[in-house]
Structure formats: structure tokens, C-alpha cells
Amino acid sequence: MTAIAASTARAPLLGEGTRVGLLVVPAVLFLAVAFVHPVATLIGISVHDKGGWTIEHYVRLWEVPAYLKVLQRTLLMGAGTALICLVLGYPLAYRLAHAGPRARALILAGILIPFWTNLLVRAYGWLVLLNPKGMLNGALVGAGLVEDPLPLVQNTLGVFIGMTQIMLPYMVLPIAAVMTRIDPALMRAAYGLGAGPVTAFRRVYLPMTLPGVMAGTLLVFTISLGFFVIPALLGGTRDIMLAQLVELNINQTLNWGFAAALATLLLATTLTLYAAAQRWFRVGALWGDLA
Amino acid sequence: MSAAVAHGARRRAWPARALDLHVGLVLAFLALPTLAVVPMSFNAAEFLIFPPPGYSTRWYAAFFERREWWGSAITSLVVAVLATAIATVLGTAAALAIARGRVPLRGAVAALLLTPMMVPAIVTAVALYRVFAAWGIAGTIPGLVAAHVVMALPFVLVNVSAVLNRMDWTVLRAARSLGASPLYAFRRITLPMIRPGVLAGALFAFLTSFDEVVVSLFMTGIGAMTLPVQMWTGIRFEINPIVAAVSTMLILVTASTFTAFALLRRTP
């Protein structure tokens, strides 16, 4: 490299490494102006109001039972969705990780095509299926299996159904990634040493997949906390989650300070959880998997 | 793999079949909402009634007749194309710099560039809405494009970085030592090698922008209306069957894009 640099007539002002490094500047500048500055402004609004510093918006969050209830519900919905996704997703990940090339391609397509389908299309699809006059209730009532339509949507059940359908890939892919790396010889050894299938799974296979389980569970929980569209469309009026409370305070009560405090709380929780999850997965690597 | 599984499968056939049943049911659950939309789009009734009283294509016709619908689709397309182009250029350049250049605080810079992917959409929406409104670009196409570039940039970075990390750099060194200028070497060596990552990043960027609803919902009060916002209004306030027709068309686009992309990637 130096030989070439010396041989050219004019030596460049900066080294090649530095010049390549400069390519990051436009992206950083753009994000500083169009992302970091707005987010910092929002955090500022939450602690600075009416010309002075204040924590009143955060205090209000703790003092009003209705708001605490929303926080509690948000955490419960996140935990519930993570649990359902784990139960449904672990066997799916197992089948995906240990499938032949053809079955693997099929299962992957079955996971990824819905994943890349527009969120609103999927929410609308659930409404079509689950509403009181929808496909499922129409079929059930028509067949005489139930007298009155079942309440499947516009309630907590509807939100869980919608959130699970969206979050399942985030559970399956990290677990499957860990499973693919497990050496099959270990399971053969367990069988050879006299372990039954249940013991071999419980003592050998399951512990080795725990990093994937942790990654998937944390990821699903974290992303679920910020859900807005699904609870708004598939939930009832009592199923309000944190993100909806933010929107409500901006569009209806016009309380920017409180909305900013709620948003800051959600942001801090999310980033803390991602930081805590660093030991189990790299965020970038996962989104690469979703390709 | 197979060894362990096949071994297990011979010993206990029913668990293997139970597993296949579970997998089939879960995959059906994933596909269900998408599949339900298609027959509903040919429903002749005004409401979501099943079974439909008759079949028609009236909702497709309504989409192309009503300006607020086809107009919003064009707005979405324009915004997505612009956002994709900008995010792809910025993201690819940043990925190259981080992988190959001297970047101070490399780890922190990479984390900053990935952050928009982790921040909940509602937080980004509220923050950008506030500042963009003050700048007077909240309801405009430039405002929407800027917001979507923020959200799409990490996807380009992730995809291009993945390719860069697998790349064999000796080829580039060889070209340079044979006298290729940095620009020529980039055009003839680096770019062809990272093209799959750039394409994947651009595809993700496009889908991120074209499907984005939460940020656009805040931005588009009176100004430019995107298709997802129009759909949101159609679902939330009136359960408009035009949404079913739009959804069916979007499903077709997603499925064919996905297939084309998978085929494209298979051919070396």
C-alpha cells in the first residue's frame, strides 16, 4: 500500500483508511439531525416544562392508578406474548433447525412471507376472521356449534392473537440458529449412554438451546412493550397499552409533557433490555437472519 | 442432523408426527389472517359478513376510482423509492467505512446507526413529529422521506455489513497493487462483491418505508397521505371493504417480491 502511495505523483492529503472512514460521516450527520436531535428534544420536554425543570410528569405516572394500570398491562401483555411465542415457537424452531433442505425452505417461507406482509393487512385479516359476523363465528353459528358469536376480537384475546402472529418469527429464528449449531453426536452419545428420549432432551438438548430461548424471549418481550397498531385495532377500549396512552396524550389531551415522559420511559426500558440482551444475541445478526 | 432426529424418529414415530402436526398448525396460524383477506376482497356486501351474500370486484373498482385511495398509493410509492435510494447510499457508505476505514469510536458509531431499529415506532413518531412540525416539514413528502430514511438505514447497514464481513479482501489488495485506482477498484471489485447485501438492504428499506404506519400516522394530518395511513383510517373508523382489495394486492406484491428475491439470491 505504502509503495503505491509513494509511487503516485501527488501524495493524498489523508491516508486511505481515513478517507474510507469519512464515508460514515453523511449517515452520522443525517441521524444526528433527523433522529438524535428529535429524541433528545422529546426527552427534554418530559423534564422541562413551563420554563423550569420538573419531574411532575413522572410523578403523575406513579400517582394516578389508571396510568399505573396501563404500565402493568403493557408488561403483562409483553410477558404473555413472549410465553405463548415460546410454547408455539420452540417445536417449530426444532423442526426448522433439523429439517432437510426442502422442508427447511418450505418452513422458512411459511415464517417469512407472513413476516414481510404488511402489518395492517394482517390486523385486517384477523378482524375479517374473528369479528362477531366474521368467518369463524359465521361457520360456528352456521354449523350450530354455538348459539351466539364468540367474543374473539376487540378484547385481550384478540390482542394476544394479533401480537403472537407478529412476534413468532422473532422467537423462532434465534432459537433455530442455536439449534442448528448443536452437534448431533452429543444426542447420540446420550442415547448410547442409556438415556431415554425425555432424559436426553431435558439434560442434554434443552440446556444447550437456552441462549436462543433467552434471546428470543427477551426480544419478543421488548418489542411487544411498544406495540401500538395491534392493540388499537384488535383490542377493546379496556386493552390500552403504553404506546396508545402516548398517542392519546398527544392527539386528544394535548399533554405533550406527559406524553414525552411516557415515551421516555418506554425508550429507556427498551434500550436497557436490548443492552441486557447483548450477551445472548447481536441485534444486527438477527435482522440479517430475517432476510 | 438428521442422524439424531432420524434415530429418534425410528424409536418413537408418534412424537415425530405430533411435531409435524404442531408445525403445520402454527404455520397455518401464521398464514391465516393473510389468507382470510383474499375471499373477503371479492365480497359484494358493504360489511364483513361471512358467508358473503355474493361475489364482485366492486372494491377493486372503488380503489381505482377514488382518488384518496390510488393517490395515497402513489404517495407511498414515491416516498418509498426516495427513502430507499437515500437510505441505501447512506447505509452502504457507512457500512464500508465501519468495515474498512478508520472510524474513531467505531463501536459507538455502529450502535448509533443501529439504534433507530430498536427504538419503538411510537417514540420515533412522537419525537420526529414534534421537531418536523417546528421545521414545517411534518406533513410533507420530504418530511416523510426523512423519517423513513431514519427507520430504513439500519436495515441497509446490517445487510451490507453482513456481506462485507464475509468478503475476501485479498482480491481488492491484488487489484490495488496492480495499479487500480481506489475508485476503479471499488467499481469493479467491491461493488460487484457486495451487491447481494446492497440489494437485500434496499429491499428491506423499501418494505420498511412502504409499510410504515405509526410515524406516518403522526406526520400526515392534512398533508401527504400514505397508503398505510389510508388503510388505518379505513379499518379503524369504518371497516371499509376497499381495505380488503388493497390488502389482496399488497399480499400479491409481497409474495412475488419475496419469491423473486429468493430466486435472485440462489443464482450466484
**pLDDT tens-digit series, residues A130-154:** 988 888 888 888 888 888 889 999 9
Task: Report the pLDDT averaged over residues B99-107.
Answer: 89
- A283 residue type, one letter: V
| Cα of B77 to nearest chain A Cα, Å | 14
- Across the interface, whether the CB atoms of A138 and B207 are under 8 A apart is answered no
pLDDT in tens, A190-206: 888 988 888 888 998 99
pLDDT of B97 higher than 80? yes
Q: How confident is the model at residue A28 (pLDDT cuts 50, 70, 90)?
A: very high
Task: For domain B67-266, say whether CATH 1.10.3720.10 is its number.
Answer: yes
> A-chain residues within 8 Å CB-CB of B91?
27
* Residues B256, B203: Cα–Cα separation, whole Å: 13
Helix, strand and coil content of chain A, in percent to the nearest 5, comes to: 75, 0, 20
Q: In degrees, to the nearest 5, what angle opens at C-alpha B236 toward C-alphas B234 and B238?
A: 55
Check residue B51 and report its DSSP letter.
S
Residue A134 is nearest to which of B50, B154, B179, comparing CB atoms?
Answer: B50
Q: Are A27 and B153 inside 8 Å of each other by CB?
A: yes
A148-199 confidence digits (pLDDT tens): 889 999 999 999 999 999 999 999 999 998 999 888 888 888 888 988 888 8
Residue A266 to residue B122, Cβ atoms within 8 A: yes
Q: Which of A30, A107, A164 sits opposite B23 (nearest CB)?
A: A107
Domains of chain A, start order: 37-98+160-289 (1.10.3720.10)
pLDDT at A276 over 90: no
Amino acid A85: pLDDT? 98
**Residue B1 reports pLDDT greater than 50:** no
Bridge partners of A166?
none
Q: Flag if B243 and A138 touch (Cβ within 8 Å).
A: no
Domain boundaries, chain B: 67-266
Distances (CA, A) of B94 to A28, A102, A255, B188: 8, 36, 38, 19
Residue A6: what pLDDT?
46
Going by C-alpha positions, the residue among A218, A267, A214 that lies closest to residue A242 is A267
Q: How would residue B48 be classed by pLDDT, with cut points 50, 70 and 90?
A: low
User: What region does B3 belong to: left with phi over 0, alpha with psi -120 to 50, or beta?
Assistant: alpha
